[in-house]
Amino acid sequence: MSPAARIPDDETGFDRVLAFTIPGRGARGRVVRLGPVLDQVLGAHDYPPAIRNLLAEALVLAALMGSLLKDEDGQLTMQAQTQAGVVDMLVCDYRRGELRGYVRHDADKLAMLGANPSLYALFGQGFLAITFDLATSGQRYQGIVPLEGNSLAEACEHYFAQSEQVPTLIRVGVRSSGGHCVAGGLLMQHLPEGEEGRDRIHVRMDHPEWEHVATMAGSTRHDELVDTNLSLEALIWRLFHDEGEIRVEPLIPLARGCRCTEAHYVSILSRFGEAERAEMRDDEGLIVVDCAFCSKLFRIAL
């Protein structure tokens, strides 16, 4: 699936995050639309529609939040878990523009829910963990919030409000047709001191500048986020054309980023003792490793 011809060559259609700031409002944003990369990730497994849509939303969120990292080698990991839900694990991560994700679910339980199950129906009493790993400093920041509300996007909004105290609005849209999936998202944040990097001393969720930006961003429609004839630049212009200045910066392209290699698994398996590796070997004397992210099998002689 490729961007429509009406999108100019110098504007953004698919698989690239667009960063922007509105200096006069002390706000920053990210907008993304996933297409071919999304099909690649989803194509690793034969997910039913409800699970495809769930993972598509999660990948959009991973791209939006991961693109906030200032550490080029840093990683954003988002993991949702529950003990008794239809979905017992969802994991996505972002590093240097590379996305990967996987959902483990109970197919029999899912079949009993109907076509459009709610977030609660899928997870029950679950939680969402969001982790930022900073490669340069070696620091790790993690926040855990309940999986409440109608979507993963709402849970991520709660994360930023509780863990980082940053007023945040997120919108995500997903559309599947003809064997392809398109998903788009918008993230807006208010930086109370007026510029990135300043200390957030006086956070106000009801700040008049934030209320204005949130109202404009909140008017984004689902169909705009997944409209393949609408560039991301044009979407931002629709929302904020009345502002005195909008600064836009295209970020690095996105790609499917499963990092599994035989050398990686050999390194991990080498940490086990010989007796433990003997129990892992099959009748041919090989250790078979199944990568959940890309659905590849690695037969390792070790």
| Listed range (80-84, 119-123, 296-300) with the worst mean pLDDT | 296-300
Give which of 42, 53, 22, 69 is closest to 252, Cα–Cα: 69
Domain ranges in the chain are 16-256, 262-300
Specify the pLDDT at position 116: 86
Specify the pLDDT at position 195: 44
The two three-digit tokens of residue 166, written as one number: 């940053």
Specify the pLDDT at position 135: 82
| Listed range (99-103, 212-216, 269-273) with the worst mean pLDDT | 269-273
The CA distance from 44 to 22, in Å, is 39
What is the Rg, in whole angstroms, of the alpha carbon atoms belonging to the chain? 21
Average pLDDT estimate for 196-222:
75
pLDDT at 4 over 50: no
Specify the pLDDT at position 80: 92
Angle between helices 49-66 and 152-159 (to 10 degrees): 30
Specify the pLDDT at position 5: 46
pLDDT at 302 over 90: no
CATH 3.55.30.10 fits 16-256, yes or no: yes
The CA distance from 58 to 155, in Å, is 11
Which pTM was predicted? 0.86
Angle between helices 232-240 and 208-218 (to 10 degrees): 130
Specify the pLDDT at position 295: 67
Using the Cα atoms of residue 89, residue 90, residue 93 and residue 98 in order, give the sign of their dihedral.
positive
- Counting residues of the chain whose pLDDT is more than 70, the rounded percentage is 88
pLDDT in tens, 27-66: 999 999 999 999 999 998 899 999 999 999 999 999 999 9
Type of residue found at 301: A
Across the chain, mean pLDDT equals: 86
Going by their DSSP bridges, the two strands 98-105 and 255-256 should be labelled as: parallel
